[in-house]
A = this chain, B = another copy of it.
Amino acid sequence: MTFKTDERSIRLYNLYNHLAFKLALYVAVWSFLFLAVFEKPAVPGAALPYWATMIIEACILIFFLSRFIHNVLFSEPASFWKDPKNIVVIVTIILVAIDMVGYIIWVNVTSPAVAAKAVRWSRPLRPLFLINFPEGRQLRKAFRNILRTLPDVVHILALFLASIAIFALLALKLMQNRSLVYPDGRPYFNNYFECVWDLYVLVTTANSPDVMMPAYNKNNWFATFFFVYIVVNVYIFMNIVLASVYNNYRRHLKNEVIKTVYLKRRLLARVFDLLKVWQRDTYVVTRQTWHSLMEIAAPHWGPTRRDVLFYVLDDTADNAIRRKDFLKVADLLNVELAEEKEEPTALENWCPRCYLAPPSEVIKSIVRHRFFHYTFDFLILLNAFIVGFNLEEAEWGFLTAFTVEILLRVYTFGPKKYFTTFWDVFDFCVVMPAVIGTIIETSLGDDYGRVKLIDFLMVIRVLKLVRLIGSIKRFQIVLTTIVNIGPSIATYGAVIFVFFYIYAVIGMELFSGLINYYGYDTKNETEMFCGDQRLKGSEFLQKRYCGNNFNSIAHSFVILFELLVVNQWHVMSSGFVLVTNKAARLYFISFHMICVVILLNILTAFILEVFILEY
């Protein structure tokens, strides 16, 4: 990406990167995605007429377009139009606009029956804005990594599907003429595509051991077939898919790092060439230039910090930075500088006499003693039992004790150190809301609002137990690792969110309104069997899965999460097959392939890699 360097373009660039605009873009992108809550089929109670969401959508689209044009103005056209992400953004904007116009025509011009079938087909494209605006760099990198990992994994997946196809043929030939049936009377392995489906489900283990039982009850030796199938396809193939994902992922990550480093060096070399002057026998950046550069690049730094960096880079100590040293600047920018001195606490500054007096010192040494720590760990454990056995009366005593502990620790270690220590902050965030909540709870009467507050306080009280874990050294290391890899995992959470959104929107178009939850005791004809006679007697109904439907984006996310967990996914898909047809299985299989086999394995590969680096 290269930008024009005339003054007007630089002004436009700075305006484009103004914090307010960036924030507005974030809000716009998320609002755009959030529209699905209000659009048909809306979350219960949040439905808006279609023109209302469309007006909001149009505003957001205009904002995206203006931002795009703004970007065009200060970019070099050649490089701008070569960047795929810009192409994707403008094409998506145009497609969404076409879809909106088309939808309005469809709804208003055709007969009501046809109008009811109107489809907003551009909605699955919405997450593209999340990925492709220049600000989604981390997410884009994650997607790029996934795309690059794919080609090598695809061969293994193809082989794996071929293996299922062969085993399915074998299963068909071995079992079709034995008149076996499932417990619910369905025929057992008597059709090739049903065999493929049953064996695909078996790879996810979701129908184990049910799929084996009819054959096993007939003849125990049939267990061998399923044993071989599971060993080959679950234990060997699935692990090899993971190994291949991990292997590729690691390689691409390495390449990515190398490329980033190379790009960084090239850009720094260009900066050096712009700023260099000839001094003695070589090109250098003078101290004067350095300070001017830093004033623009890092305006929040003080002159001292700029000087420190300059002295570090000035390897030859001649008040000038050579090319070789200048290229190291990027690595140094991220180094945290810490002032090395034991600071007095706020209280010590305010009244040293009282803070350092003998009684105060006694208190501090008590607080610093490990038995102080142990005592409160014990109190937390005791508190957990009290919570478990519903002895609400004792809660006040515990809350007072924990509050005193906080005050003592702040007193001893000083507020600055206290509020920068992870476990202390955690403690504070758990105890304070509990104190405030309990006060409110006591002052409120026995009314409805209290119930939710009690739930909230429950969660808070139980969370305190986590501190107990944090106080055991070995556990701390593991927890710190988890906390450290958290942000990187969040990026993959976003990747999964993108796929969830796309599948949720498609799922709503395909299945919304077909299965409804009305409770299971209803005597109303239209509400029986979750609104569809075809579900009568099905395992879907028997397991009371009617709440797992695509009737709103929230419901869709829940069922997709359940599909991600995999267990019973074949029962859920069987419900939607019953109310539509067997083609619905493609939706569920593709979701499993993409989100479980590929994305979750990438997540595992990612956690493996990060854990090995961190631990």
Residues of A within 8 A of B (CB): 155-156, 158-159, 162-163, 166, 169-170, 172-174, 183, 192, 205-210, 212-213, 216-217, 220, 223, 227, 230, 234-236, 239-240, 242-244, 246-247, 384, 387-388, 455, 458-459, 462-463, 465-466, 469, 474-475, 478-479, 481-482, 489, 517, 519, 542-545, 547-548, 554-555, 558, 561-562, 565-568, 600, 603-604, 607-608, 611-612, 615
Contacts and interface: CB of A to CB of B under 8 A. Distances in A.
Nearest to A545: B213
16 contacts: A162-B469, A162-B475, A163-B469, A166-B466, A169-B388, A169-B465, A170-B459, A170-B462, A192-B388, A208-B562, A209-B568, A213-B547, A220-B547, A236-B482, A240-B478, A242-B604
A240 B481 contact: yes
A395 B325 CA distance: 76
Contact of A547 (B216, B475, B545): B216
Nearest to A243: B611
Nearest to A158: B475
Nearest to A156: B478
Contacts of A230: 561, 565
Contact of A247 (B173, B555, B611): B611
A471 to B, nearest CB: 12
Contact of A567 (B156, B163, B206, B459): B206
A485 B192 CA distance: 32
A568 B217 CA distance: 17
Contacts of A213: 543-545, 547-548
A607 B159 contact: no
Contact of A455 (B174, B547, B612): B174
Nearest to A209: B562
Contacts of A166: 462-463, 465-466
Contacts of A459: 170, 174
Contacts of A555: 220
Given A169-B387, A192-B388, 9 more contacts: A162-B469, A173-B388, A174-B458, A206-B567, A216-B547, A227-B561, A239-B607, A239-B608, A244-B611
Max chain B CB contacts within 10 Å: which of A212, A517, A608? A608
A607 B567 contact: no
Max chain B CB contacts within 10 Å: which of A172, A192, A208, A600? A208
B209 A244 contact: no
Contacts of A608: 239, 242-243, 246, 608
A66 B562 CA distance: 59
Contacts of A220: 547, 554-555, 558
A462 B169 CA distance: 7
A103 to B, nearest CB: 29
Max chain B CB contacts within 10 Å: which of A209, A611, A615? A209
A542 B478 contact: no
A150 to B, nearest CB: 14
Nearest to A384: B169
A212 B572 CA distance: 14
B612 A243 contact: yes
Contacts of A206: 567
B236 A607 contact: yes
Given A206-B567, A475-B155, A542 B183 contact: yes
Given A554-B220, A567-B208, A239 B603 contact: yes
A240 B486 CA distance: 12
B558 A223 contact: yes
A469 B160 CA distance: 11
Nearest to A173: B458
Contacts of A565: 205, 208-209, 230, 234
A488 B575 CA distance: 43
Contacts of A210: 543, 568
A178 to B, nearest CB: 10
Nearest to A213: B544
Nearest to A204: B567
A45 to B, nearest CB: 11
A400 to B, nearest CB: 21
Contact of A216 (B173, B388, B558, B612): B558
Contact of A458 (B155, B170, B209, B243): B170
B462 A566 contact: no
A455 B608 CA distance: 44
Given A223-B558, A388-B172, A545 B209 contact: yes
Contacts of A173: 387-388, 458, 462
Given A169-B388, A209-B545, A565-B205, A159 B478 contact: yes
